[in-house]
Amino acid sequence: MKFNLKKYRIGYSLLILTILVSSCKNELVEKNKGGFVKSNYFSSANQARIFVNGIYQKLYLFQNGDAYGESPFITIELFAGHATSLGQSVNNNNVINNRTDAVNPGFEDVWQNSYAAISNANLALANIPPISPMPDADKKALLGETYFLRAFFYYHLVRLYGDVPLLTTPVTLSSPNLYPARTAASAVYDQIISDLKAAEVSGLPESDNTGKVSLGAVRTLLASVYLTTAGFPLKKTANYALAAAEILPVINGTAYTLFDKYDYLHDNAHKNQGELIFQSNYLVGVATNAIPQLTVPFNLLVGSYGDHLGAMIPTNAFVASYEAGDLRTKERQFYFSSYPSFKDGSIINFGEHALYKYFHVESATGNGQSDENWTFLRLPEAMLIYAEASNEAEGAPNTVAIAQLNKIRARAQLAPIGALTQDAFRKEVWKERYHELAYENKAYFDIQRTHQVYDVINNTFGDATATKNEQNVTMKAQYYLWPIPQREISTNSKLTQNTGW
CATH number, position 178: 1.25.40.390
The SS3 call for residue 455 is strand
> What burial letters (b/e) apply to 208-231, b meaning 16+ CB within 10 Å?
bbbbbbbbbbbbbbbbbbbbbbbb
Residue 242 burial class via C-beta count within 10 angstroms: exposed 0-12, middle 13-18, buried 19 and up: buried
Ordered DSSP codes for 72-137: HHHHHHHTTT-EE--TT-HHHHHHHTT---TT-HHHHHHHHHHHHHHHHHHHHHHHSTT-SS--HH
The Cβ of residue 2 has, within 10 Å, a number of other Cβ atoms equal to 7
**pLDDT at residue 67 in the model:** 62
Domain extent, residue 124, equals: 5-212
Lowest mean pLDDT among 172-181, 184-193, 194-203: 172-181
150 is a domain residue:
yes
Tell whether the model's pLDDT for residue 31 goes beyond 70: no
Rounded to 5°, angle at Cα 360 from 357 and 363:
170
Query: How far is Cα 433 from Cα 145, in angstroms, rounded to an integer?
Result: 27
Report how far apart, in Å, the C-alpha atoms of 464 and of each of 10, 191, 340, 381, 470 are: 36, 29, 40, 22, 13
Residue 235 burial class via C-beta count within 10 angstroms: exposed 0-12, middle 13-18, buried 19 and up: exposed
Question: Model confidence at 68, in pLDDT bands (50, 70, 90)?
Answer: confident
**pLDDT at residue 64 in the model:** 75
Query: How far is Cα 339 from Cα 305, in angstroms, rounded to an integer?
Result: 14
**pLDDT at residue 391 in the model:** 98
State yes or no: cis peptide before 176, omega within 30 of 0. Answer: no
The Cβ of residue 304 has, within 10 Å, a number of other Cβ atoms equal to 15
374 is a domain residue:
no
39 is a domain residue:
yes
Distance of CA 87 to the CA centre of its chain: 25
Q: What is the pLDDT of residues 285-298, one digit of tens each?
A: 999 999 999 999 99
Query: How far is Cα 296 from Cα 273, in angstroms, rounded to an integer?
Result: 25
Amino acid letter, 277: I
Contact criterion met (CB below 8 Å) for 307 and 88: no
Q: What is the pLDDT of residues 329-372, one digit of tens each?
A: 999 999 999 999 999 999 999 999 999 999 999 999 999 999 99
How many independent structural domains does the chain possess? 1
Mean pLDDT of 300-318: 94
Q: What is the pLDDT of residues 206-236, one digit of tens each?
A: 999 999 999 999 999 999 999 999 999 999 9
Tell whether the model's pLDDT for residue 25 goes beyond 90: no
Tell whether the model's pLDDT for residue 376 goes beyond 90: yes
Rounded to 5°, angle at Cα 287 from 284 and 290:
85
Tell whether the model's pLDDT for residue 32 goes beyond 60: no
**pLDDT at residue 38 in the model:** 59
27 is a domain residue:
yes
Q: What is the pLDDT of residues 106-147, one digit of tens each?
A: 899 999 999 999 999 999 999 999 999 999 999 999 999 999
219 is a domain residue:
no
108 is a domain residue:
yes
Question: Model confidence at 63, in pLDDT bands (50, 70, 90)?
Answer: confident
SS (H, E, C) 18-78: CEEEECCEEEECCCCCCCCCHHHHCCCHHHHHHHHHHHHHHHHHHHCCCCCCCCHHHHHHH
**pLDDT at residue 170 in the model:** 95
**pLDDT at residue 37 in the model:** 53
Report how far apart, in Å, the C-alpha atoms of 348 and of each of 338, 341, 398 are: 5, 6, 47
Contact criterion met (CB below 8 Å) for 204 and 141: yes
- Which of 245, 247, 226, 246 is CA-nearest to residue 237? 226
pTM of the predicted protein model: 0.92
466 is a domain residue:
no
Tell whether the model's pLDDT for residue 472 goes beyond 80: yes
**pLDDT at residue 9 in the model:** 32
Query: How far is Cα 382 from Cα 399, in angstroms, rounded to an integer?
Result: 16
Rounded to 5°, angle at Cα 74 from 68 and 76:
135
User: Which residues have CB under 8 Å from 436's CB, separation 6+?
Assistant: 328, 380, 384, 408, 412
Element (H, E) at 242: helix 239-252
The SS3 call for residue 183 is strand
Query: How far is Cα 97 from Cα 245, in angstroms, rounded to an integer?
Result: 39
Tell whether the model's pLDDT for residue 1 goes beyond 70: no
Lowest mean pLDDT among 98-107, 155-164, 238-247, 260-269: 98-107
Tell whether the model's pLDDT for residue 394 goes beyond 80: yes
Element (H, E) at 153: helix 136-161
Portion of the chain with pLDDT greater than 90, in percent: 87
The overall average pLDDT reported for the chain is: 91
Mean pLDDT of 408-428: 97
Query: How far is Cα 257 from Cα 472, in angstroms, rounded to an integer?
Result: 39
Tell whether the model's pLDDT for residue 29 goes beyond 70: no
**pLDDT at residue 28 in the model:** 30
Question: Model confidence at 10, in pLDDT bands (50, 70, 90)?
Answer: very low
Portion of the chain with pLDDT greater than 70, in percent: 91
83 is a domain residue:
yes
Mean pLDDT of 454-476: 97
**pLDDT at residue 111 in the model:** 97
Question: Model confidence at 4, in pLDDT bands (50, 70, 90)?
Answer: very low
